[in-house]
Each structure stands twice: as structure tokens, then as C-alpha cells.
Amino acid sequence: MSSMITGYNPDVLSCLANLSNDEVFTPPEIANAILDLLPQELFSDPNTKFLDPACKSGVFLREIAKRLIDGLADQIPDLQERLDHIFHEQLYGIAITELTSLLSRRSLYCTKYPNSVYSVCKFDDQSGNIRYKRIQHRWKDSRCAFCGASQDQYERDDSLETHAYEFIHTIKPEDVFEMKFDVIISNPPYQLDTGGSGRQAKPIYNLFIQQALKLNPRYMTMIIPSRWFAGGMGLDAFRNSMMNNTHIRYMVDYTNAKDCFPQNSISGGVCYFLWDRDNTGSCNFVNIIGGARIEKERWLNEFPVLVRYNDAVDILRKIASKKEQSLSTLISAISPFGLSTKIRGENKPFQNNNIRMFSSAGESYIDKSQVLKGFEYIDAYKVMISQTGAEHAGEPSKDGTYKVLTSSLRTLGPNEVCTHSYLIIGPLDNSTFGDNIICYLKTKFVRFLILQAMSSIHLTKTTFTFVPVQDFSLSWSDEALYKKYNLSNSEISLIESMIKDME
């Protein structure tokens, strides 16, 4: 028994990474996979400087320290001299909270206070090279001018964290440490509550990347949600810049975030990438799907959104060669009629100006004057689609397959509307077109194409980018679509293996 006890020595950071938390901690094995992307000679150079601008557990700096300790052994043979050099001259961090500053210092220096006798490397102050400074948001029109946080949510007294992260709350990030860094590496905070309708959360990981690029390091690598591939609140400009940035030479994408962070459901998965200042070209894009690894060298900007599945690229190329109109041109904006999900109508018509409304609560009737927009759809036929996809957080089922759409597909007639919970396809000339569109949407072919542009559980116009418009006087089947687009047996097998049957 005693030998079993002494043989069990779990990594505390592995344990911490398995805890569910609003701030996602990086497992050491993932941190090392990211470090493996860097040229390994960096860890044998005593002049290389590393920065983590969003320290949480300190795992990146700790794992870098291990590599430097080995890599500099010949150049600095004395261990204590080597540790002093590494910790004083090469490793720097900015913690996101006071708690994570203590945790990060404990991980790196073996003590919360590196000026104590317990530190593996002695500093003159309690921070060492991992700094934490309580920052206040800068309010403008009830929003932070730097990160967009809600003043109602984040204007706090000294007893609470402000979550105003130092690295992204400055115009000049180079002034934080006043030095040049060779490598910037991090798992930044992902989002902040904006206090908006439906408790919207604004992505902020993009701000860390943009700030890091201002410092112009030799290399930059971060692990972030993959939602930016095709969606994300306010991420259009960021997505465009990333897709057209030829310095991104390597990207690893986990379609299911639990393959990377086992205890965290992160809608749309996660990815990490390597940005190389001195080299440009195509990107080696890697899919991690259920443990399988699929690599393909390609350009990130080939399509209007970043396609995550390498095996889908050739299928999309075949469809694009037809130069057909995209179904996205017939999809409504979010909240097609301006009707809140909370609105409830009457059980039966009570005057001539009433129209039928569909909501998650069922059917009811409202006065036509309550409709705020989408008037072009009211007197026409249209197809109603749930704005929410079938998979929780965009994660596949246990067998790795996707359903993509829910079963709430319905043809609506004139004087029928729906709430914010749904999108609309239309306007259509007759109900036959609507019924044939529903038949089309249920095909595995279409749902596979939708999956290529999905970045979260929510559907938008962009989600239908790759779905071509057909002659909707006809009823379409998978077999007819496979034949029309000349798909190979292997391409058909891919679609059939990824997409579930739909009733």
C-alpha cells in the first residue's frame, strides 16, 4: 500500500485543468503541445524572452522553464545560476486576477512570494516577473472603451475583481514591461458579460491577440475558442484579419472542446495557432476529431468563412464550381419579426387584425401591429427554422455524428410569424416551395454543408453560406444531390458518417 501511495504523484495543474470554471485552465499536456510548435532552439538561447499576458495557473511559464533548464544546461552549468538567469531574464507574465497571480507564482517560483526564502529564485519584491495590477475600466456611454464590458456589471468596489485585464486596457502594451519579447503565449479570457439582451457575452480573446501583434514578437501562439471561424459577436473584422494573415503557419482545431478541456463545454470547439513574424505562406491546418488527427496544408481565406474540416474542402470546391446562389441570401436576419422570445399571445383570435405567432411555447395570436420588422414575409409563405442547432455547445453525439438542425422546421403561410427563437427562409410563392425546402434541409448533404459554417449552437445567415439554392419546385434527395455535384464514394461516405438521419 505504501508503495502505491508514494508512486501516486498527480500534477496539481492537471487536476486544476479538470475543474469546471468560468476561466478555462490549460492542462499541462496541451501547454506542451503548443510549445512543441515553436522552434526548439528557442529553449537553448539564453536571450529568448517569453511573455504570458494572461496568466491563470502559470502552466505555460512553468513548462517553458523546464525546457530552458534543460536547454541551457551546457551554457550555464551551475543550476542555481541557471535558474536565476531564466526566472529573472527570460520569463514574464501578467496575471488576470490577484488569485491567479499567486497561483502562477506558486507554479513558477514554488512560492506565492518570490522574495521569500522558499523561492527557487530570489527576487527583491513579492511579484517577481509575474505582475498583477488592479485596473479600472474606462467608461464611455456605459461601456468600457477598451473591452466593451457593461458598467452596470463591472463597476465594482475594492472587494471584487474588476476583470479589467491590464494587457488589453492600455493603448501601449509595450509600456507594461518596456522590453521586446521573442514569444508571446497564452490562454486568454474568452468573454465578458455585456449586460445586453439575453445576457450577451462579448468575446475578448481577440483583443489579446491584437495587443500581442502590436508588440511584434518573433512568435505568437494562443489557444482560443474556434467560434471566430464563422461567427461570434463583433468578430467580423477579426475573422477577416486572421483568415488573411499569412503569418499563421500552423493551426490545431478541436471540434469538440472536451477533447482539449475535458470538463469544459465551449461552444464551437477550441483552437491554437502559431503566428510566425518572419515567415509567410499557407497554413498547416490540423483537425482533432475524437482523437483522430487530420492535417492539410491550405490557405485560410479560400472560402468566405474558415472551414474547419479538412476533408470537406474538396466537396466545397466542387459545389463552388457551379457558381450557384447561396441559400444564405434567402435567410432572414436574427429575430425576423422583432418579436421577443418572452412575448406571449392570446389562445385564439380576438379581432380581425390578429396573426398567428409561433414560439417555443407553442402557437398563439398577436395583433399585427406588434410586428416590428420583416413585413415582406408577413403576406408570403416562408420556412421557419430554429435559431438553435441540435447539438449542445456544438458538440457531436457520443458516436461523433451531428444532427445539426432541430425538428422544428415548418412552412408558415400568410399572416403567420415567429419569435426571436427562429429564422425565416423566404419570401416564397407557395407552400409547395416551403415543403420542398424543408425536404432539402433534412438531407444529409445540406446539413453537412451547414456544419462547415457552424461555429456555435446558434444558426445565422452565415451558417448557410455553403448551401446552394435549388429549383424548389422539385423535391430533393441525397442521392440526387450527390449525383448533381459529382461526389465520389469517399466524399459520400464522409457525409453519411458525420450526419445523423433526420425524421
Task: With a cut of 90, say whether residue 477 has pLDDT above it.
Answer: yes
| pLDDT bucket at 19, cuts 50 / 70 / 90 | very low
Per-residue pLDDT, averaged over 336-358, amounts to: 89
Tens of pLDDT, residues 44-62? 999 999 999 999 999 999 9
The pTM of this model reads 0.87
The mean pLDDT of 250-279, rounded to a whole number, is 91
CB-hemisphere CA count at 13 Å for 237? 6
Q: Report how far residue 36's alpha carbon sits from residue 114's, in angstroms, rounded to the nearest whole number.
A: 28
Mean pLDDT in residue range 273-286: 98
User: Over pLDDT 70: what percentage of the chain?
Assistant: 93
Can you list the alpha helix ranges (DSSP code H) found in 174-328? 205-214, 236-243, 313-320
Distance (Å, rounded) from C-alpha 97 to C-alpha 161? 7
Share of the chain above pLDDT 90, in %: 73
> DSSP state, 232?
-
pLDDT for the residue numbered 351: 77
Query: CATH says 2-227 is which class?
Result: alpha beta
Mean pLDDT of the chain: 90
Task: Say if CB 388 and CB 372 are below 8 A apart.
Answer: no
pLDDT at residue 2 is higher than 80: no
Beta bridge partners of 203: 191
Residue 145 has pLDDT above 80, yes or no: yes
| More confident call, 332 vs 391 | 332
Stretch 70-98: mean pLDDT, rounded? 96
Q: Where are the domains of the chain?
A: 2-227, 319-498
**Taking the CB of residue 232, how many other CB atoms lie within 10 A of it?**
21
How much is the pLDDT for 455?
79
Q: What is the pLDDT of residue 445?
A: 98
Question: What average pLDDT does this structure show over 277-301?
Answer: 95
**CA 36 to each of CA 33, 42, 83, 170, 407: distance values in angstroms, whole numbers, following the listed order:** 5, 11, 22, 31, 44
The reported pLDDT for the residue numbered 13 is 66
Cα distance between the two ends of the chain? 55
- For residues 454 and 456, give the distance between their C-alpha atoms in angstroms, rounded to a whole number: 6
Cis peptide preceding 46, ω within 30 of 0: no
| pLDDT tens profile 387-433 | 988 887 677 788 888 999 998 999 999 999 999 999 999 999 999 99
The mean pLDDT of 58-73, rounded to a whole number, is 97
Most confident among 29-43, 194-208, 265-279, 451-465 (mean pLDDT): 29-43
